[in-house]
A and B are shown apart, each in its own frame.
Chain A
């Protein structure tokens, strides 16, 4: 069973608020990812990290930032939330051993900005 956790599961906030979505994994994986997914739509990569102190922007500019101070923790911050940020945010970590690669996903944070 994958040990990757996201909090909160659901969040409703007002426009202009600063929020941080938490993601933690206890598997020691170096590679972690944040995706944004609207209902019934495809996954869009927002940010990813190769390891501690390494972060990269993905394909979708979501006006968010990430940090990777510890291997197990990869929080996503929205400095000023807007209704267009309403979506589901999924965190994942990647394990690669030899020829086997697996990506594990958290249960997601469903964000609504009003």
Chain B
């Protein structure tokens, strides 16, 4: 079983829709959680990170962590065609250095 599971998509939604991207994980030792956006042929760029359960909001993006369910989400409000990319979740341990990535979800926003 993979430590981090992420639906690969592809996910296609119309412009303006609310997008929900999700990851589940199996290791309760994960302490911090990140979301990355990766455009085609580019390296991933950090979107959001959070250390605790609950919600964290940044503009149109909201990251949600539910440690009891081992489930994290990224919500994108008022989605734009420029949001079309692959989104990767990532998580790490509090004391170790290794970070684990999900396989990525390909998102397409239709104009």
Q: Which chain A residues have a beta carbon within 8 Å of chain B's beta carbons?
A: 31, 33, 35, 40-43, 45, 48, 50, 88, 90, 92, 94, 99-108, 110
User: In the complex the two chains form, is B42's CB within 8 Å of A101's CB?
Assistant: no
- Chain A residue nearest to B2 (CB atoms) is A42
User: In the complex the two chains form, is A107's CB within 8 Å of B43's CB?
Assistant: yes
Instruction: Name which of A35, A42, A88, A94 has the most chain B CB atoms within 10 A of its CB.
Output: A42
| B64-98, CB < 8 A from A | 86, 88, 90, 92, 97-98
Could you list some 11 contacts between A and B, CB below 8 A?
Answer: A42-B102, A43-B44, A43-B88, A48-B97, A94-B99, A99-B32, A101-B32, A103-B46, A104-B46, A105-B36, A106-B43
User: In the complex the two chains form, is A101's CB within 8 Å of B51's CB?
Assistant: yes
**Given contacts A40-B106, A43-B101, A45-B98, A100 and B51 within 8 Å (CB-CB):** yes
- Give the chain B neighbours of A88 by CB distance below 8 A: 41
Q: Which chain B residues have a beta carbon within 8 Å of chain A's beta carbons?
A: 32, 34, 36, 41-46, 49, 51-52, 86, 88, 90, 92, 97-99, 101-104, 106
- Chain A residue nearest to B97 (CB atoms) is A31
User: In the complex the two chains form, is B51's CB within 8 Å of A105's CB?
Assistant: no
- Give the chain B neighbours of A106 by CB distance below 8 A: 43
Kindly state the separation between the CA atoms of A48 and B46 in the bound complex, as whole angstroms.
19
- Give the chain A neighbours of B34 by CB distance below 8 A: 101-103
In the assembled complex, the CB of A32 is this many whole angstroms from the nearest CB of chain B, namely 9
Picked from A45, A90, A94, A101, the residue with its CB within 8 Å of the CB of B44 is: A90
Q: Told that A103-B90, A105-B45, A108-B43 touch, could you supply 13 new A-B pairs with CB distance under 8 A? A: A33-B99, A42-B88, A42-B102, A43-B88, A43-B101, A90-B44, A102-B49, A103-B46, A103-B99, A105-B36, A105-B43, A106-B43, A108-B42
User: In the complex the two chains form, is A105's CB within 8 Å of B44's CB?
Assistant: yes
- Give the chain A neighbours of B43 by CB distance below 8 A: 90, 92, 105-108
